[in-house]
Structure 1
């Protein structure tokens, strides 16, 4: 039996779930800007209390590894690492976009098209990938500037559903009869449960000391205009 604490902080959603054998038994999440630092440990404690479990009962800690928000990912990964060190538990990292696609398939088990999760980057750029309905990756994770030619090969051959906070801004650009959009939130730690269980069963663990989030792009520091004069 695998009891896994799961953390998702790659987007404005701060989400914590507890799963036993791939089934979510407790979940606490909230979508808001800049709440991860103040809320994550509180959410973890609430989920543990809801499940009636002690930290020693955990078998592993899983975290959404990115891509996504630089600050959010650092908070989630550092918290997960701290728990793994303190509890001497295995550390599991789940690709954020794959977690999102898995969440969509959990809600649409008979879906026959492709899934394209998108995380908002800046302007018309998104972090994205393309998955089949079996979660096979047919376009690798990348940072893409979306225009009217994006995904044209996939759209000409398949029904494609675009999900995530980056998909909404692409609606006017991806004007194709096979392009469909979902405005539901799939950045939930609950969508990690089956993936984390599979990783645990295969002993697909990360090195806690050396693991880094998958930022995809370097963090860019900006200077306020008032200080450039």
Structure 2
């Protein structure tokens, strides 16, 4: 009797693990690769648990049912995300329209120019470069290289923002871009200049934290 109970428990646990692992793998690897993996896993279960053909077919049917349920859940989640993005986009559009009503025609024109400038990596790079030239006393050769690094960073950041839509850019992707830029910057600057850059960055970060704390 105890042997039968142990066998039943083992079978139940193995089946549960099989479904948990298979469904997760499907989500990560895609349907084609998952199908092959599923067949291999099922074949192994058949050997280990001495499953009958009827049991194998039942497990296959159950797995297919669960797979379809997972696909439906992912589809519903995607629809919810798209709906949320649409609402956020409408909210931003409405906010812009309300602000435009408050501004004078001249102010609206200037605001549009600033928005266009903000979306242009080249112009944003030039603006940032002017500050770095003043802070770090860059040579013309250094300024040219720093501008190239800035344009690369800002172009990639713009692409990430466009891909994210109304959502925030992934924190890790943003950090990776910034790290790559600073590594390139370090290769352009002298040790003294880079040290000064880090000191200015730390000072700005401290002021920013202080402002947030006061709020």
TM-score range, shorter chain: under 0.3
Q: Determine which structure has the larger strand proportion and give its number.
A: 1
> TM (normalized to structure 2)?
0.26
User: Which structure would you say has the larger Rg?
Assistant: 2
Q: Taking CA–CA contacts closer than 8 Å with sequence separation of 6 or more, which of the two structures ends up with the larger relative contact order?
A: 1
TM-score (norm 1): 0.24
The structure that is helix-richer by fraction is 2
